[in-house]
Structure 1
């Protein structure tokens, strides 16, 4: 029997800070550049792929872990004719930061980005694959919680010891961040990019070029990405797809589904379905 091309999503109300995706046959999967609000980690189970994180290109294959910080633009796609399978886990950054603080891994309870995009270390790779299989199993929640804690403590002990000293990053306020904040806060509005450019004192062409250079997305793509994040939150609550499309600022359900699949590599209905508890 051929591997299924349908993604499997695992979520559990008892562990609301974790979302896991399993893809056993991703040869036809394509991702547009996108970002997540969560910290993310994935394991390549088979095949080869190109992993672009911000402006950095990595060629990864079976045995590699890929790591993405919150709100950083990335895309990971299979190389042509390569059988591709993977796990991808999204982790709430506040929960993870608190775990690392309480475990003594980090000295501060607020989130600080990890410093590696990829990792090729068999023990940590095998540990992550084992953790994913455990989450997908019928084992008790207490067992899953313990293994989650133990794995992330071990992983970040390695990540932090093999990168430069972690220091909080303070972004210098500038008008581009003001535009990004506006797009986040008003993502459901259809205000034209030219009007937004004028409001912040830019020409439209300059804003699009500068914004893309800084955030790796155009303002329009950034706003669409935020709408998809809102759509994902609504899908987890079981809301109707047609109403989500309208509430998320899309012209119709077909538009929502097309943009959603470009960034999630699954339809809204596939994303809403998770494994039974």
Structure 2
């Protein structure tokens, strides 16, 4: 039997756009600031926690939904001496945008970020939990699970519509975005940050300060975060942990384990397992 302190993951290759995590006893969970490529939503099931999203700090508790846009740095950790349980779901933003456009919830086929970090709404909260329980259930067929996911997010984003506005299609002129793009593309290389700084015409000290101010991560942490994302993709495909660690630039598997757990709050082995495969 899996201990209640261990996270449970649900995913299925037939529904590749959604991944769900359940934590029943997260009192000892500790997240380092990190980000995801997907749009994310979670429900606090028990206890109280601090939710940092970009530069905004919230205290959240049972009955609260939390939402994170793709690539936004965040961290959610339990308050001291508080029990903590939650569901967290990650959705492919292209799939979500296509669904919402098809149902006329949004007018553009491009992804639009949600503007709320938190939401307290009894109906939407309870319906989210029911949807999560449906995914975890072995009694439902995949097509029924997909329908329930679609129905929920059509309802949620219809509710959020008044708080949504189109995002700009072009980034403001800022050379830091070029640095971030470089770190994404070449995250597997060990290029020293001083050489990255020189490549883009910055001093090392200025780049580290400005990058952290803009992205809420140092360039080094940003690069590690991208490596972890690549590691998650490989682990979901069932690749051996040692092979994944080496492929994403960790010669020491123990180092990979530490970096991964700080950002995912699960070991690579825990993450690789899915209750849908049980």
Q: How does 1:156-235 map to 2 (within 5 A)?
A: 156-161=157-162, 163-235=163-235
Cα deviation, 1:144-174, whole Å, max 9, x if unaligned, reads 111111100000011122x153343531132
CA RMSD, 1 decimal: 1.4
Counterpart secondary structure, 1:276: helix
Counterpart secondary structure, 1:116: coil
Counterpart secondary structure, 2:275: coil
Q: Cα–Cα, structure 1 residues 125 and 3, in superposed 2: closer, same or farther, change >3 Å?
A: farther
Distance 2:197 2:232 in 1: 28
Q: Confirm or deny: 8 A CA contact 2:113 2:164 kept in the other structure.
A: no
Aligned counterpart, 1:129:
129
Distance 1:52 1:224 in 2: 19
Distance 1:170 1:85 in 2: 38
Aligned counterpart, 2:83:
83
Equivalences, count: 276
Distance 1:193 1:105 in 2: 43
Q: Confirm or deny: 8 A CA contact 1:231 1:248 kept in the other structure.
A: yes
Distance 2:100 2:211 in 1: 33
* Residue range with higher mean Cα deviation, 168-177 or 206-215: 168-177
The reply on whether 1:68 has 2:68 as its aligned counterpart is yes
Aligned counterpart, 2:272:
272
Cα deviation, 1:3-35, whole Å, max 9, x if unaligned, reads 710000000111110000000000000000000
Aligned counterpart, 1:40:
40
Aligned counterpart, 1:145:
146
Unaligned runs of 5+ in 1: none
Shift of 1:175: 1.2
Unaligned runs of 5+ in 2: none
Cα deviation, 1:63-95, whole Å, max 9, x if unaligned, reads 000000000000000001101000000000000
Distance 1:186 1:28 in 2: 34
Distance 1:169 1:81 in 2: 44
Q: Confirm or deny: 8 A CA contact 1:3 1:24 kept in the other structure.
A: no
Q: Confirm or deny: 8 A CA contact 1:33 1:75 kept in the other structure.
A: yes
Q: Cα–Cα, structure 1 residues 204 and 234, in superposed 2: closer, same or farther, change >3 Å?
A: same
